[in-house]
């Protein structure tokens, strides 16, 4: 690592996700994550990320 690759900032990440089987080869899923990071100048930055999806496995 170089000096520009590291900082003294601290952060916290919390994430939760779940899958739900809909059929033999299909599932739905969702997740949520929250990130909190200290930034220069004594402030903090918070971001919340949501995701939802569907997966189906095709067979040959």
For 8-57, what is each residue's pLDDT tens digit?
778 899 999 999 999 999 999 999 999 999 887 778 899 999 999 999 99
Q: Please give the Cα distance from 48 to 38 (Å, whole number).
A: 15
Q: How confident is the model at residue 3 (pLDDT cuts 50, 70, 90)?
A: low
Domain boundaries, the chain: 3-56
Section 1-9 average pLDDT: 68
Of 9 and 59, the structure prediction assigns the larger pLDDT to 59
Question: What one-character-per-residue DSSP string does 1-54 give?
Answer: --GGG--S--EEEEEEEEEEEEETTEEEEEEEEEEEEE-TTS-EEEEEEEEEEE
pTM: 0.67
> What is the CATH T-level fold of the domain 3-56, as seen in this structure?
Dihydrodipicolinate Reductase; domain 2 (3.30.360)
């Amino acid at each position: 690592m170089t000096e520009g690759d590291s900082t003294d900032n601290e952060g916290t990440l919390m994430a939760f996700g779940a899958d739900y089987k809909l059929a033999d080869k299909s599932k739905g899923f969702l997740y949520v994550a929250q990130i909190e990071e200290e930034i220069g100048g004594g402030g903090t930055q918070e971001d919340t990320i949501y995701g939802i999806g569907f997966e189906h496995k095709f067979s040959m």
